Amino acid sequence: MAGNRAVVFTKPGEVEVQDIQYPDLVLRDGPGVNPLNVGRKCNHGVVLKIVTTNICGSDQHMVRGRTTAPSGLVLGHEITGEVIETGSDVEFIKKGDLVSVPFNIACGRCRSCKERDTHICENVNPDRPGSAYGYVDMGGWVGGQSEYVMVPYADFQLLKFPDKDQAMEKILDLTMLSDIFPTGYHGAVSAGVRPGSTVYVAGAGPVGLAAAHSAQLLGASTVIVGDMIEERLAQARSFGCETVNLKEHSNLGEQIDQILRAPEVDCAIDAVGFEARGHGDDSGHEAPATVLNSIMNVTRAGGRLGIPGLYVTGDPGAVDDEAKEGTLKIRLGLGWAKAHTFVTGQTPVMRYHRDLMMSILSGRAQIAKAVNATLISLDNAPEGYREFDGGASKKFVIDPHNMVNYS
């Protein structure tokens, strides 16, 4: 039996690479596994040899201790791999296939899945609709920042790359299909971006940069990205975005006016989420409703707000008791008065990943360049977490088996 190593959350601020159980086609008991999921048979699943697996900002929320994630949780929901074992019920996916794994786990059988809402599958998480690999309160499915991982419902979920050699040449782009590229794209689609739109993106982390690139692909005339870290803003400028340093400027509308000659945009995207901070002189203080309120301020009446940024129902490190349970001081009256449309929640990855794959393979999408994809080994994952938490403008891609050409 082969071994297996993985990135494991141990305590707030720390992850370790540890030996874990080699996967089989059963969901075993372990940290974070819902008791109702223990022993769940997955003959519809496959075992993957991980080719690439990415560190996500959502992982960082757990590592910072801002969720109820248990010690020992195996991290990682952004997974690309080679099929090395198939369950008896798998008909179409074959050994040797190179595939992208949507981070949402979806059965393909429930009402939500049949309506293409695979982000709120009703059968994979006993706590509530929606699930993901290696994530708190998501059913306990083992994460994929590892050498090997089990993926259920393979025929329904997996996106097979049509040519393995071509895929490996573009693997730094294709690895983004499991989450951040569809998530950024969903943010832009939800915000109603269309040819000629002016767009504000809050946050220049990987999802924000993916949203900005997606807005460009959708035909936006101007994409403005706001952040407090100059290195990340420089990355946004590297592919044609305008930028606003929110640490230096408190009045976002004035900054947008200097760029557009108008203080409002057509639509906006929140790629920050619940760990937002104040702007300008208040940038040293956490203020979780800041982004939501600011994008309502600067989005025109009748505009749409795409909100792929993560908001949680349990945040032990929040600034007050209300925020600890996800209750934020949002100016809903302003949004009502301006007739805004809000779109929130996980991204239904399967709604977008095939089209985005074709955009990558054709050369139209350059997502790895946009997010500054940076390869690291599995052993270097803890340092990658530390560097990413410090604000590095990089999307860390873990290569557990040294399968990717580093040149």
Model confidence pLDDT, tens digit, residues 105-150: 999 999 999 999 999 999 999 999 999 999 999 999 999 999 999 9
**Equal fold, 5-179+348-398 vs 180-343:** no
Output Rg (C-alpha) for the chain, integer angstroms: 20
Specify the CATH number of the domain 5-179+348-398.
Answer: 3.90.180.10
Residue type, 183: T
Query: Selecting from 3.40.50.720, 3.20.10.10, 3.40.50.180, 3.40.250.10, what CATH number does the domain 180-343 have?
Result: 3.40.50.720
What pLDDT does 282 receive?
82
pLDDT of residue 407 exceeding 70, the answer is no
- Each residue of 38-49: b (16+ CB within 10 Å) or e? eebebebbbbbb
Mention every residue, 6+ apart, whose C-beta is less than 8 A from residue 317: 64, 65, 66
pTM of the model: 0.96
Return the pLDDT at 283. 80
- Domain assignments of the chain as residue spans, ordered by start: 5-179+348-398, 180-343
Q: What is the mean pLDDT of residues 225-238?
A: 97
Express the helix, strand and coil content of the chain in percent, nearest 5 each: 30, 20, 50
pLDDT at 406 over 70: no
User: Per-residue confidence at 313, pLDDT binned at 50, 70, 90?
Assistant: confident
Alpha carbons 306 and 324: distance in angstroms, whole number: 23
Percent of the chain with pLDDT over 90: 92
Residue 9 confidence (pLDDT): 98
CA distance 360 to 142: 28
Assign 200 to helix, strand or coil: strand
User: Which pLDDT tens digit goes with each residue over 1-32?
Assistant: 579 999 999 999 999 999 999 999 999 999 99
Q: What is the pLDDT of residues 70-112, one digit of tens each?
A: 999 999 999 999 999 999 999 999 999 999 999 999 999 999 9
Q: Supply 181's token pair.
A: 């590229």
Say what the pLDDT of residue 1 is: 53
pLDDT surpasses 60 at 204: yes
Sign of CA dihedral 308, 312, 317, 323: positive
Amino acid, res. 162: P
pLDDT above 70 for 233: yes
pLDDT at 314: 86
What pLDDT is stored for residue 292 in this prediction?
A: 96
The lowest-confidence range among 111-115, 142-146, 152-156, 318-322 is 318-322
Segment 332-338 mean pLDDT:
96
Instruction: Give residue 385's pLDDT.
Output: 96
| Residue-level pLDDT at 214 | 98
Strands 148-151 and 222-227: unpaired
